[in-house]
Structure 1
Amino acid sequence: MTQLSLTDVVVGFDSEPVLRGITLDVPSGALAAVVGPSGCGKTTLLRTIAGLMRARSGEIRIGQRMVATHGIHLAPEKRRVGWVPQDAALFPHLTVAENVAFGLGIGPRAARRAARGPEVARLLGLVSLSALSDRLPSQLSGGQAQRVALARALAVRPEVVLLDEPFAALDPVLRVELRTEVRALLASEGVTGILVTHDQAEALSTADFVAVMNAGTLLQFGTPREIYEWPHDPWVAGFVGESNLVAGIWRDGFVECRLGRVIASWGSASIPTPVEGQAVTLLLRPEQLTLGPEGTQPEGLPATVTTMSYGGHDVLVGLALADGTRMTSRVVSAGTLTAGAQVTAYIVGSAMAFSPQ
């Protein structure tokens, strides 16, 4: 069942469109992450779904309800949408319980009474903050404040929760811990989530689906594996991870290029498979280049190590081929490898080919 559906949604300031025909379907209970460069329209998308901005055209459905279309703009408080902002945005003079109760939309006085009620107790229990109900926001850590913001967003029993970079200000360890907790909590409550993030690794590791945007346009929507392994074009590939791009010639399932004759599949779904001899761009992920000692693979590529970036769980190795071509390889362990070392790089698996950019 589709819980959130956008069809050809256009939003703009004056005559300039900010969202250009966004069509998106998120299944019930799923978490979809929205990624893209700054200014591409991610937050505008959230604000439009929430009803804080009016769509110029198109339709938005939440469950079976039409909340935005020509002549219809349902008010934000009637959409059953929760919002978790980046900075938590808690009222500094209210306790944790009172901040959560305020999300019930019942007014300040009633919220203070409701802060001692069973519903607020249930919500604080969900986010593991029952013991902190009487604290003020100034007495909370960043992670605790974000948990309060999440509980407040869940107070209206929303069908959709919108998360606008809620983990951006947290330290890396806490960020991983909290996003795992939030993902599990949304799933347990059966709530559909839309997460805006600048962290591509966070999107790929946390979400059920990923939407990649640029310049107000939705370029691709799919599972994390689909986005990473089968990007629609080299721009999407480069945005969600490191990539090696090499010019070549299409030869019926192979690409002839400076790397040799490489097995490849056609990646441009909207463009017909090229004819024999047509120019293409070959895409290889760094992990598809495996390294060995110099001269160990007859079909390998002699290369010189230029840089090494240690990431703990792996190492990103910069390479220079004999003709000067620059490549990157990702290896689990670099061993005694150092800059200037002579190695052999060889290709593992099938690459992807696209129309030249």
Structure 2
Amino acid sequence: MKMHNFSAGPCILPASVYAQAAEAVLNFDNSGLSILEISHRSKAFMSILDEAREKVLRMLGLKEARYSVLFLQGSASMEFLRVPYNLMKSKAGYIDTGTWSSKAIKEAQAFGEVAIVASSKRANYTYIPEVDVVDPDLDYLHFTSNNTIYGTQFTTIPQVSVPLVCDMSSDIFSRQLDFSRFDLIYAGVQKNIGPAGLSLVVVKKEVLGKTARSIPSMMDYQQHIDQGNLYHTANVFGVYTSLLNLRWLNDLGGIPAVEFLNNAKAKLLYEAIDSLDVVEGIAAEAFRSKMNVTFRFKNSELEKAFDAYCERENIVNIKGHRSVGGYRASLYNALPIESVQVLVQVLEQINQKA
């Protein structure tokens, strides 16, 4: 049965990744051992970790001499705390564009003053606010590049003279950017990287060690770097599955190739939303996300019919977040365009019968 999974996360990964990961659970690399039982300090895992980190830097166009790559446990929510622990001396700036940036702000407030540089809260986060002036004395500026709940996405990188930190959980590896503009990127891996439970951190080495703060070892990026990402037992399966996905992306042609496919998927769905009488987009058009498309029916009575069509066509995980309502179709890297075509056909059928 072909399922069309539009989950916002954990989300779909390539079929080849599932197959290789499943095989490795039974017999990793013909070793007779499961990937679940190999030591995190074995040569086999060190090879996995080294290749994964090398591929991350190569995909992002960054140099190992300047950046370190870490796969850490706790997912992006842990980085809400780790970032200010490691970077905030007294005052940091945050752009408030939704639930996840708000959670990051709450954690940072325990370490010093947080300046809300811009916010779209007054419009229920349906747009990306303009950043006018940034205090040059800020320790860093933090923003969330893509907002899964509200379906908004930054189209440009903020131009600032302070260190730039980005939560790129839901659109990392999905589009080309000048990643050298960032001093620290973090992402929960459960969108475009791997299975839930890990965070990917890419940090410019020179921004660390400047807070004069005593940092608990588990929260200290430098400690994890110094220990070769092995300060504690690594999530071997999570890192391995992430590597499989990075290999898939590399074989596809890297970020330029997948961006082309992502643009096609988003264009197809947004054109349907804009042309059909029964539905409308929720996010402001200028800031629409290419990863998370939010929409609703103009007549809420049509939702039951749409839900029934979705069940018949095996379309799953498309309900909108409770704080927004409506529907949300997540179009992450591994989602095939065929799934979007099925969704568009359903919307067209609803439109014809309305």
- Which is bigger in relative contact order (C-alpha 8 A, separation at least 6)? 2
Larger-Rg structure: 1
Q: Which has the higher helix share?
A: 2
- How does the TM-score come out when normalised to structure 1? 0.21
TM-score (norm 2): 0.21
Whichever structure has more strand as a proportion of its residues is: 1
